[in-house]
Amino acid sequence: MPNRRRAPDSQIRVAAAIPAGIPWLEVGELQPMSPPAGRTDLLLASTPPYDLVIYPGRQAQAPPQPKLPFRTGTASAAEPTPPSGPDAAPQLLVGTSKVWKVPPRVPRGRKPKAKTGNPVPALKPVRHGPLGADARRTAAQRRQTGACMICHYKKTTCTPDKADSGAPCISCRSRELPCVAYRVTDVVLYREQDAPCHLFSKRWKSMDMIDITEWADNDVRTIKISLAFLEAPFEVEVRKFVPLPGDSLEEKWVDKTGNLKTWPVPPYGIVCMAQAADSISGMIDSNVGIYIRSLIGAGTGDESQLLWQTYLAAFKHCENAPTEAEKKLLCNTFRLWVSCRLTSHPDRIVGDDHLGMRQIDDPDSPFEHMTPSPPVLGAQLECIMYSCFLRPLSEKVLRNLMELMEARRQSTWYTIYLALFLLLHSCAMMTRRDMEYARLVSLDDTLANPQGIYKQMCGATTLLAHFHFAIKGAVPFRLALHGPSSELGTHGALLPDQVDFIVDSAALVDRIRPKWRDLRPTESYGHDFYWISQMFDENWKGDKMA
């Protein structure tokens, strides 16, 4: 693993409980000039007297004459050892500027709404009736490999129906429960793909990190890359390469009139992908809060409030969860969540060196007033993200999640709920982005990577099945609304502030629920709440999704 400098699993630097004096990220109550009353917010702060407070969609408010720049990555003895070498110095996000302006979000207008008639195949991992020929073969195979989900959790013998190998097992049939075979560890939590996008480069046939060897000159330059709509850069060393057939040397997009536009991009690639992975690892651990604020912080109304307060609760719980396993689960879930955003949103070059490129001036380009990173470099980043982040992090999260679910302790319900909320939301975000990209480059399909998205959606359904059938995940929300309230704390072993959070969430869900009725019938897979809304359905049936 090249990312040897990565912080231990449970040590994402979440500052909810970090000792004073560490200029990192703090979680706190809203200050005056706040958005909706009572809403908590992430505060970006440095050591007094320089306090920088960011509110979604607003300018930061800083006291006059700041003495320190806002920065990330400064560590104390209690924190992980900071990286050495070029990453040792704290990364300056701004200079000594008094006001740090929140970069604009990608305008919502560019996001296509999920449509009725989406070509994504219907998902039916839960069933009650007879199966088709393929499913029968799968079921028969499953009978040989292990128990169904219900029998597995109940630790009872899973007895197949000898007369019909595709039918539900005897136990499930007698209880009228759905008989499903999928395990948590089978779930795909990101958009899997075999190789980098062929539109960027055809050099790599897999996600293995194979460095470029044919260089055009000896000049090594250091550039900074960040997602297009936020300021969380990482540094990479790049060098001009000898282009091969299939290497894209231009940025492409389709303008409003449907014309394909291009912008020349010089042939620069990452010198050492392992070194770049280290840089990205440090950036992720230092900027989880910025990602959350940029992607979840905007918006008003009950749905935005539910998203925001749940992300915030999860963020705090990284530090406050009662066990190391739960802390690890949430920290790695956040790392994975950021990694999914890194692989699904456009990135740009920031900093001083833009490799001689001009900024794009077309308002129809997602890079208007920005410098896109070279497509071949984008392909390299995909290799890095899949090999060093998405795949290993997903494995850790699923293993951890499975262990917690199989233990079926009430005390872990809260952690599991928060982790699944993030993962299910991530699935919807990824689907939406995939649709946007397909439109951006004018693909014939609605989705750019239908196979990858479909697998992730199957994974979301499996997680929901386990959430409902293994741990009765929706019960606390019913108790919060209809009582008896005394059982709420007991069911999830919740602390008083967690009870308040669940009661508040249940009330929000109750108000929003009518808006969610059409999500499944209209197959709005890219809607923020397509999957999340199903967490609150105590009578959830997977086969109602199609």
Task: Name the H helices within 9-90.
Answer: none
Distance of closest approach, residue 184 Cβ to Zn ion, in angstroms:
16
Measure the CA–CA gap between 224 and 194, rounded to whole angstroms.
Answer: 27
Q: In the window 291-350, what residues touch Zn ion (CB under 5 A)?
A: none
Distance of closest approach, residue 456 Cβ to Zn ion, in angstroms:
25
Distance of closest approach, residue 160 Cβ to Zn ion, in angstroms:
8
Toward Zn ion, which CB reaches closer, 98 or 173?
173
Q: Which helix (H) or strand (E) holds 417?
A: helix 413-440
Measure the CA–CA gap between 168 and 180, rounded to whole angstroms.
Answer: 8
Distance of closest approach, residue 167 Cβ to Zn ion, in angstroms:
10
Identify residue 285 by its one-letter amino acid code: D
Instruction: Please classify residue 326 by burial: count the beta carbons closer than 10 Å to its beta carbon, then call 0-12 exposed, 13-18 middle and 19+ buried.
Output: buried
Q: How many of the other CB atoms lie within 10 Å of CB of 447?
A: 21
202 and 229 in contact (C-beta within 8 Å)?
no
Give the count of residues interacting with Zn ion (CB under 5 A): 8
Toward Zn ion, which CB reaches closer, 153 or 215?
153
Distance of closest approach, residue 129 Cβ to Zn ion, in angstroms:
14
Residue 234 β-bridge partners: 225
Toward Zn ion, which CB reaches closer, 52 or 147?
147
Toward Zn ion, which CB reaches closer, 154 or 478?
154
Toward Zn ion, which CB reaches closer, 158 or 488?
158
Identify residue 496 by its one-letter amino acid code: P
Residue 368 β-bridge partners: 360
Toward Zn ion, which CB reaches closer, 155 or 256?
155
Place of tokens 């390469």: 241
Q: In the window 475-504, what residues touch Zn ion (CB under 5 A)?
A: none
DSSP state of 390: I
Instruction: Please classify residue 507 by burial: count the beta carbons closer than 10 Å to its beta carbon, then call 0-12 exposed, 13-18 middle and 19+ buried.
Output: middle
Distance of closest approach, residue 457 Cβ to Zn ion, in angstroms:
22
The helix/strand/coil state of 415 is helix
Determine phi and psi for 45, rounding to 5 degrees. Answer: -140, 150
Toward Zn ion, which CB reaches closer, 428 or 465?
465
Q: In the window 137-176, what residues touch Zn ion (CB under 5 A)?
A: 148, 150-151, 158, 169, 171-172
Toward Zn ion, which CB reaches closer, 154 or 515?
154
Helix-strand-coil percent breakdown of the chain, rounded to 5?
Answer: 45, 10, 45
**Which residue in 323, 285, 279 sits closest to 14, CA to CA?**
285
Toward Zn ion, which CB reaches closer, 184 or 427?
184
Distance of closest approach, residue 165 Cβ to Zn ion, in angstroms:
13
What are 437's two structure tokens? 């990209």
Measure the CA–CA gap between 228 and 251, rounded to whole angstroms.
Answer: 14
192 and 456 in contact (C-beta within 8 Å)?
yes
Toward Zn ion, which CB reaches closer, 150 or 494?
150
Q: Which helix (H) or strand (E) holds 217?
A: strand 215-227
Distance of closest approach, residue 125 Cβ to Zn ion, in angstroms:
13
Distance of closest approach, residue 366 Cβ to Zn ion, in angstroms:
47
Distance of closest approach, residue 538 Cβ to Zn ion, in angstroms:
20
75 and 82 in contact (C-beta within 8 Å)?
yes
Measure the CA–CA gap between 250 and 267, rounded to whole angstroms.
Answer: 9
Toward Zn ion, which CB reaches closer, 168 or 297?
168
Q: Pattern of binders to Zn ion over 510-539, x per CB under 5 A?
A: ------------------------------
Instruction: Please report whether residue 187 would count as binding Zn ion according to CB under 5 A.
Output: no
Q: In the window 88-117, what residues touch Zn ion (CB under 5 A)?
A: none
Distance of closest approach, residue 179 Cβ to Zn ion, in angstroms:
3
Q: Are strands 40-44 and 347-350 parallel, antiparallel or unpaired?
A: unpaired
What are 275's two structure tokens? 């070194």
Q: What radius of gyration, in Å, describes the C-alpha atoms of the chain? A: 24
Instruction: Please report whether residue 422 would count as binding Zn ion according to CB under 5 A.
Output: no
Toward Zn ion, which CB reaches closer, 168 or 378?
168
**Which residue in 464, 504, 494, 529 sits closest to 317, CA to CA?**
494
440 and 228 in contact (C-beta within 8 Å)?
no
Instruction: Please report whether residue 179 would count as binding Zn ion according to CB under 5 A.
Output: yes
Distance of closest approach, residue 470 Cβ to Zn ion, in angstroms:
13
Distance of closest approach, residue 17 Cβ to Zn ion, in angstroms:
43
**Which residue in 40, 22, 21 sits closest to 286, CA to CA?**
22
Q: How many of the other CB atoms lie within 10 Å of CB of 122?
A: 8
Toward Zn ion, which CB reaches closer, 38 or 130?
130
**Residues at the contact surface with Zn ion, assessed by CB under 5 A:** 148, 150-151, 158, 169, 171-172, 179
